Amino acid sequence: MGSEIKMREPRCKGLIGALLKDWRLYLLLLPLVLWFAVWAYKPMGGLLIAFKRFDSSLGVWSSEFRGIQNFINLVSGVNKEQFWQAFRNTFIINAYGLAFGFPVPIILAILFSEIGNSFVRKFTQTATYLPHFLSEVTITSIAIMLVYSGVHSTGILASLFQELGLLEPGVSMLAKPNYFRPLYIAVGIWKESGYNSIVYFAAIMGISPTLYEAMKVDGANKLQELRYVTFPGMAPTLIIMIIMRVGHMLSIGYERVLLMYNSNVYVTADVLSTFEQRIGILSANYGVGASVSLFNSLIAFALVIGANTISRSISDTSLW
Amino acid sequence: MELLNRSEKIFKVCAYVLAIAFAAAALYPIIYAFSVSISGRVAYESGIIRLLPKDVTFQAYNMVLHSKGFWIAYANTLFYTVLGTAWSMFVSLTGAYALQNAKLKFRRQWNFLLVFTMWFSAGMIPQFLNYKSMHVDNRWGIVIAFGIQAYNIILLRNYFSGIPKEIEEAAIIDGANDFQMLTQIYIPMSKASIATVTLFYAITRWNGYYWSRMLLSDPYQQPLQVYLRQQIENYQKLYDESAVALPYSADSLAYAIIICSIIPVLIIYPYIQKYFAKGVNMGGVKG
C-alpha cells in the first residue's frame, strides 16, 4: 500500500536544495569546518615556504621562490651536521622507546589481568594511570629535581646513583650527553606506560574464558596459555599500536625533549622537531625550518600508510 | 579439585608483587614531592627525607600562596580551562552531530578531512607562522585557536551514531529540527560520553604549555605551566636568593608550586577514572 503513495517531489533539487532544506545541519557543521580550515589546513599551504626565502613582510605567497635550496642546505649544506645529528637521534631515541618503552604497557596489562582482587587491581591501575594526566612540565620538573646535582643540593635519585657508584659526585646528569636518552625513556615509561596498558588490558578482557579453560583441560601451563591464547587474542590491538608507533617514528613529542634537554646534551638529545624549533622559531630561519616540517610530515605520513598496507596484507588488521 | 595449577600460582604471586611495585614506583615521586614541600630546610638538605616529611612546616606554601605571580598564573589557567573547554565542546558537539547525520551531503568526505588531520599535520613552523599572521598572541587567541582534537570528535560522533534511530524518527514526527534534535535528544542521551570528553579537554587545557609560551606576548597572560617552568629554569637562582635564614629549601618551594598546580587534576581524576573500564578511549581509533 505504502509504495503506491507518491511522495511530492521536493521543489529544489541537489546540493542547493539540501542546503536550503537542512540549513540548520550545515550551520552546525560550520564551526568545525572553519576551525579545521583555519588551524589545520591553512598551515598546510604554509608548507610552501619550505621552497622559499620567507619574508614576513611579503607573506607566504609573495616571498621569493628558491626551489629546493632549503633542502640542499639541510642535507648537504650549512645545516647538514645539525640536521643529520637530529635525524640520527630521532631514530635512536625511537628505537630505544620501541625496545624498552613499548613492552612495558603490554606486561602491565598482563599483570593487571592476573590480579583477581578487585581492590588491588583498581588501586594499581589508578596509581599507574595517574602520571599520564599530569602535565609534561610537572613530570619533567619533578624528574629534573630528582636527578639534579649541584652545589647546594642533590636530588634523591642523583644521591642514590652516587651511593651505587654510578655517578660521580658533583656531576649533573642533565649536563651529560650519555644520560639523556635513558632519562628520557624512563620519564616516558613513568608517564605513559600505565595509561597505554588500557588498550591491551581491554583486549585481554575480551578473550573468551572458554579458551583458557580448554587450554587447562589439555594440561597447559601458564606460559603456554600466554603463548597460545593471550598473545593471539591481543594481536589485532598489538598490530594497531605498532602501526601507530611506526607512524610516529619521526615525530617525537617535542615538548618533553624541549623541557629536558639543554645545549650540553644536543649531541644525544636534539631531535628533528627540536632542531626545527631552534632553527625555525628561535633563529627565525623559517624557510629551512619549514623544510624540516615538510620532511617530517611527509615521512611520517608515508610510514603510516606503509605500515598500514603491510599490516593489512599480512593480517587483515588495519586502521582504515 | 585444584583450581590453579602450580605455574598459575607462581605467576599470580609474581603479578601481584610486580604490579604493586610498579604502582608504588609511579606514585613515589608525587608523594616524595609532597613530603619535601612540607619539610624543613635542614632536614631536606641533609638528605634524610626518603618518603615521609621531617620537621613539618607549611612556610613554602605560605610563600607560594602570597606570591602575586602565582595567583595571576592560576587565574589565567582557570580562564583558559573554563572558556577553552566550553569552546572545544561547542565545536566538537555540533560537528560530531553533523558528521554522523545521514542527511549530510558528502558525509564521507567531511569525515575523511577530519581523520586526515590525525595523520598529516603541517608541522611546527607553518603552524607558528599561521598563528602569528592570525594574531594569536592574546588570551582569546589561545582559547579559540587550540584544544580541538579530531580524536575526541570521532569519539562523540561514534557515540551519537549508536543512538537508536527510532528515537530520532519519533522526534522528527514530533516536528523537531536539527537544533532541537541535538540539544534535546542527542546531548541528554550521551551524558557519560560528553562528561568524559569534557574532562579530557579540560585536562589538556590545564596542562597546556608550549604554544602559550611561544605566542603570548604579555607575561601577565601566561598560564600556570609556564610560571612553573620558569621557576624551575631559575632553580639555581632560587637557591641563591633564598637566604640561609629561610626555614624551607628552594626545592620545597618548587615542589609546593607543583603540588598546588596538580590539585585540580587530582580532584577530577577519580571521575575520569570511572570511564576507563568502559573502553571509552578506544572506540574511535578506526576512522
User: Are residues A216 and B5, on separate chains, in Cβ contact within 8 Å?
Assistant: yes
Q: Which amino acid is at B53?
A: P
Q: How confident is the model at residue B287 (pLDDT cuts 50, 70, 90)?
A: very low
Closest chain A residue to the Cα of B268, Cα to Cα: A133
Tally Cβ neighbours within 10 Å of residue A209. 8
Q: How confident is the model at residue B107 (pLDDT cuts 50, 70, 90)?
A: very high
Which residues have C-beta within 8 Å of that of residue B50, sequence separation ≥ 6? A156, B32
User: Are residues B105 and A133, on separate chains, in Cβ contact within 8 Å?
Assistant: no
Write out chain A residues lying below 8 Å of B126, CB-based: 43-47, 49, 290, 293
pLDDT tens-digit map of B226-239:
999 998 888 666 66
What CA–CA distance (Å, rounded) separates A296 from A94?
A: 14
Contact yes or no for B252/B238 (Cβ under 8 A): no
Partner residue opposite A15 with nearest CB, options B105, B258, B272: B105
**Whole-number Cα distances in Å, A175 to A149, A182, B10:** 10, 13, 43
Smallest CA–CA distance, residue A149 to chain B, in Å, is 11
Read off the pLDDT of each residue in B261-272 and give the average, rounded to a whole number: 89
Closest chain A residue to the Cα of B244, Cα to Cα: A152
Partner residue opposite B19 with nearest CB, options A124, A137, A199: A124
Portion 68-97 of A in contact with B at CB < 8 A: none
Which residues partner with A200 through β-bridges?
none
Closest chain B residue to the Cα of A29, Cα to Cα: B95
In the predicted model, is pLDDT for residue B217 greater than 60?
yes
Task: Write down the pLDDT at residue B8.
Answer: 82
Task: Write down the pLDDT at residue B126.
Answer: 92
pLDDT tens-digit map of A76-92:
888 889 999 999 999 89
Choose among A134, A128, A245, A118: nearest CA to A198: A128
What CA–CA distance (Å, rounded) separates B128 from A120?
A: 46
Write out chain B residues lying below 8 Å of A243, CB-based: none
Q: What percent of chain B has pLDDT over 90?
A: 61
And the C-alpha cell for A267?
649531541
And the C-alpha cell for A17?
536544495
Read off the pLDDT of each residue in B244-265 and give the average, rounded to a whole number: 87
Task: Write down the pLDDT at residue A246.
Answer: 76
What CA–CA distance (Å, rounded) separates B202 from B12?
A: 38
Tell which wins on pLDDT, B25 or B43.
B25
Assign domain B11-276 one CATH number from 2.60.40.420, 2.60.120.10, 3.40.50.620, 1.10.3720.10: 1.10.3720.10
- Using alpha carbons only, give the angle A129, A134, A139 rounded to the nearest 5 degrees: 105
Which of A137, A245, A246, A296 should we substitute to test contact with B (largest number of B Cβ atoms within 10 Å)?
Answer: A137
Partner residue opposite B26 with nearest CB, options A46, A127, A202: A127
Which of B1, B16, B22 should we substitute to test contact with A (largest number of A Cβ atoms within 10 Å)?
Answer: B22
Smallest CA–CA distance, residue A77 to chain B, in Å, is 20
Task: Write down the pLDDT at residue A54.
Answer: 80
Domain ranges of chain A: 65-315
Write out the DSSP string of A229-241.
IIHHHHHHHHHHH
Closest chain B residue to the Cα of A109, Cα to Cα: B19
User: Are residues B285 and A131, on separate chains, in Cβ contact within 8 Å?
Assistant: no
User: Are residues B129 and A293, on separate chains, in Cβ contact within 8 Å?
Assistant: no
Q: How confident is the model at residue B278 (pLDDT cuts 50, 70, 90)?
A: low
Read off the pLDDT of each residue in B32-51 and give the average, rounded to a whole number: 89
- Using alpha carbons only, give the angle B48, B52, B57 rounded to the nearest 5 degrees: 90
DSSP tag of A278: I
User: Are residues A281 and B29, on separate chains, in Cβ contact within 8 Å?
Assistant: no
Which of B124, B178, B186 should we substitute to test contact with A (largest number of A Cβ atoms within 10 Å)?
Answer: B124
User: Are residues A39 and B179, on separate chains, in Cβ contact within 8 Å?
Assistant: no
Read off the pLDDT of each residue in B13-33 and give the average, rounded to a whole number: 96
Q: Which residues of chain A have pLDDT under 50?
A: 1-6, 9
Which residues have C-beta within 8 Å of that of residue A127, sequence separation ≥ 6? A194, B23, B24, B26, B27
Q: How confident is the model at residue B240 (pLDDT cuts 50, 70, 90)?
A: low
Count of CB pairs separated by less than 8 Å, A with B? 278
- Look up cell 643529520; give the residue: A84
Closest chain B residue to the Cα of A303, Cα to Cα: B119
In the predicted model, is pLDDT for residue B193 greater than 80?
yes
In the predicted model, is pLDDT for residue B277 greater than 70?
no
**What ipTM score was computed for the predicted complex, to two decimals?**
0.90
Tell which wins on pLDDT, A52 or B3.
A52
Read off the pLDDT of each residue in B43-69 and give the average, rounded to a whole number: 89
And the C-alpha cell for A277?
624549533
Displacement of CA A206 from its chain's centroid (Å):
26
Q: How confident is the model at residue B120 (pLDDT cuts 50, 70, 90)?
A: confident
pLDDT tens-digit map of A110-155:
999 999 898 999 999 999 999 999 999 999 999 999 998 776 678 8
What CA–CA distance (Å, rounded) separates A148 from A158?
A: 6
Tell which wins on pLDDT, B86 or A50.
B86
Write out chain B residues lying below 8 Å of A39, CB-based: 127, 130, 145-146, 148
Strand (E) or helix (H) holding A274? helix A272-276
pLDDT tens-digit map of B137-166:
999 999 999 999 998 999 899 889 888 888
- Look up cell 546540493; give the residue: A15
| Fold topology of A65-315 | MetI-like fold (1.10.3720)
What CA–CA distance (Å, rounded) separates A153 from A159?
A: 10
Smallest CA–CA distance, residue B237 to chain A, in Å, is 11
**Whole-number Cα distances in Å, B188 to B174, B178, B224:** 17, 14, 34
Say if pTM beats, i.e. exceeds, 0.80.
yes
Write out chain B residues lying below 8 Å of A135, CB-based: 206-209, 225, 261
pLDDT tens-digit map of A95-109:
898 899 999 999 999
User: Are residues B127 and A43, on separate chains, in Cβ contact within 8 Å?
Assistant: yes
- Using alpha carbons only, give the angle A147, A151, A152 rounded to the nearest 5 degrees: 85
Residue A152 burial by CB count (10 A; 0-12/13-18/19+): exposed, middle or buried?
middle
Task: Write down the pLDDT at residue B206.
Answer: 95
